[in-house]
Amino acid sequence: MYHPHVHYIIPGGGLSTDDKWLPTKNNFFVPVKALSIIFRAKFRDELKKTSLFNAVPAETWRENWVVHSKPVG
């Protein structure tokens, strides 16, 4: 079963034009379902630029991806 993992941390908000922290609502910048779709597409597009793309089974891109997202800290 093809089951890659990528771990990273993203901020739960951003800076305003006057450098004040603006936290996101519900502790998430992007809802998990939308993030899963966006991440799969962006990952696929970047992988296409490498020789590794052909090593990934085609059905991988048709599967629903789930990005596990949770607030930490």
Q: Report yes or no: 67 and 39 within 8 Å, Cβ to Cβ.
A: yes
Q: Is the pLDDT of residue 1 over 70?
A: no
pLDDT at 13: 80
Domain total of the chain:
1
In a domain, residue 46? The reply is yes
Domain that holds residue 35: 31-67
Closest CA to 63 of 16, 3, 10, 20: 3
Convert the pLDDT of each residue in 27-67 to its tens digit. 666 778 888 899 899 999 999 999 999 999 999 999 999 88
In a domain, residue 37? The reply is yes
- Model confidence at 73, pLDDT cuts 50, 70, 90, reads low
pTM equals 0.64
